[in-house]
Amino acid sequence: MDAETPVVGIVMGSDSDLEVMGRAARVLEEFDVPFEISVLSAHRSPRLSAEYATSARARGMKTLICGAGRAAHLAGVMAAHTTLPVLGVPVDGGPLDGVDALYATVQMPPGIPVGTLSIGSHGATNAALLAVQILAVENDDLARQLAQYREGLEQAVGAKNDRMHAQGWANYSA
Ligand code: RP5
């Protein structure tokens, strides 16, 4: 992977989405995946959104991660203008707390898929991990990093289990 050329585009509907979508950026940094991050709105800047998605493949992008809240059409609009994989993150907030964004993002018509993650920061984290997994299909170094990441998760669970039993809770016996 060329360290300079972004291969993942993180796009969000507003800078108010950055707290959530920044989680995706942190994960990509952890895996040394070059990315770019932009504010584009399906409703407020539709022409720029279409241009971004239309040119993404030619600019070297492999996957787009799109986060928006409320009537969240950004991921769907991006997907309509590219055949790159598009991952959608429903951003929480507002009176419906992300359920509106979830429905708007996930309910795509057949033919234009958006891989929709869960609402909020956990969804942003998983969108970035899924982007890394997509890139890792043809990148052995990333596949190795993912395996190490999973080992870390397992160790963290073991540590939680140990801490709980150190407080006196009964362990299971196989
Ligand atoms: C959505 O409306 C954005 O993605 C954001 O989640 C929400 C509010 O946007 P701002 O009013 O903060 O710009 O389009």
DSSP for 9-42, please give it.
Answer: EEEESSGGGHHHHHHHHHHHHHTT--EEEEE--T
Are 128 and 28 in contact by the 8 Å Cβ rule? The answer is: yes
**Whether residue 69 has its Cβ less than 6 Å from ligand 1:** yes
pLDDT tier at 96, thresholds 50, 70, 90? very high
Q: Tell me which residue has its CA closest to atom 5 in ligand 1.
A: 69
- Structure token pair of residue 25: 């950026």
DSSP annotation of 71 reads S
Whole-structure pTM value: 0.95
Q: What is the pLDDT of residues 113-172, one digit of tens each?
A: 999 999 999 999 999 999 999 999 999 999 999 999 999 999 999 999 999 999 999 998
Amino acid present at 20: V
Provide CB contacts within 8 A for 60, sequence distance 6+. 2, 5, 6, 7
**Whether residue 90 has its Cβ less than 6 Å from ligand 1:** no
**Whether residue 16 has its Cβ less than 6 Å from ligand 1:** yes
Please determine, for residue 174, whether its predicted confidence score (pLDDT) is greater than 90: no
Q: Give me the mean pLDDT over the 101-106 stretch.
A: 98
pLDDT tier at 1, thresholds 50, 70, 90? low
